[in-house]
Amino acid sequence: MQPADLLLLKPMQPSVMEALAGAFTLHRADTAPDPDAFYREIGPRIRAMATGAQAPVDRTLIEKLPQLEIVASFGVGYDTIDVGAAAERGIVVTNTPDVLSDEVADLALGLLLATVREIPQADRYLRAGHWPTRTYPLTATLRGRHVGILGLGRIGRAIARRLEGFGVALSYHGRRRQDDVSYAFHPTLLEMARAVDVLMIVAPGGPETNGIVNAEILEALGPDGIVVNVARGSLVDEPALIEALRSGAIHGAGLDVFAAEPEVPEAFLGLERVVLLPHVGSGSVQTREVMGQLVVDNLLSWFSGKGPLTPVPETPANAPSTGAAR
């Protein structure tokens, strides 16, 4: 049987590319000289797609692929995929949850500590030769702080478990109370922001959370407030955050994600109490390899007739394909 035709929107790590090329007839959108001609030619044959957060899958693209059965996304967030349009067609969408939770949680803790204790700033201070002439200024502390987690999902829980070891108070806000945790639940984000002085953002992106961390939330955190975002840049009103940092309405911020990645607002670069990372939350060799393998495994499982391994909640509960990858 002929291998299924698979569309790859952006290149992935070599091991994943090799596995996909070995199991499917691979079509790369990123190397197509004429995208319109490319989709006219191969669009009617495509049954699977592999993609990541940097390559949006909108309704227009989905409509170009009448035989599409499954979209396998690299990453836990899938707000760049129009899952509604996919569900209307009975198309399965998968992501790569769990396998990156610990890595992102580790990074989140590192980013929080780096922001509170100004670790990158102190490093630059030493490298610039200032230490022999004067000691580095005293910093803020994590001692006695109250951390509020926006989004107590897999990653949020992993962060909370790590924070327990630091002896800080913990609260959370999400769509519902979770009865199996002892952390304080706040029914609104504003209520939680008033109660805490560290806001750890781990909620999904999408229309419901777009700009949810706005000027009102930042003001509620207060002048000792710290914002750490390892979720999606879209959750934060970036102009409001820049103004809050400039004015001293909050103390500092640690950001791994931005609204228009890879572009970063230039105003952030001139702020001292900000730690900026280029979206590296899951960016270890080991974790990215496991994530890539889960993309491949979801596709292989689907075309072997076993159904998807890690479907997103919005995915229709339709029967798995009876086709074969090879």
Residue with tokens 């999902």: 153
Active site residue 279: yes
Q: How far apart are CA 244 and CA 284, in angstroms?
A: 32
Active site residue 216: no
Q: How far apart are CA 217 and CA 144, in angstroms?
A: 21
Q: Which of 191, 243, 261, 289 is an active site residue?
A: 261
Q: Which of 28, 89, 81, 34 is nearest to 63 (CA)?
A: 89
Q: Which of 89, 117, 279, 289 is an active site residue?
A: 279
Q: At what angle do helices 285-303 and 14-23 cross, to 10 degrees?
A: 10
Active site residue 146: no
Residue with tokens 């999606």: 232
Q: Which of 232, 251, 273, 288 is an active site residue?
A: 232
Residue with tokens 């769990």: 98
Write out the catalytic residue numbers.
Answer: 232, 261, 279
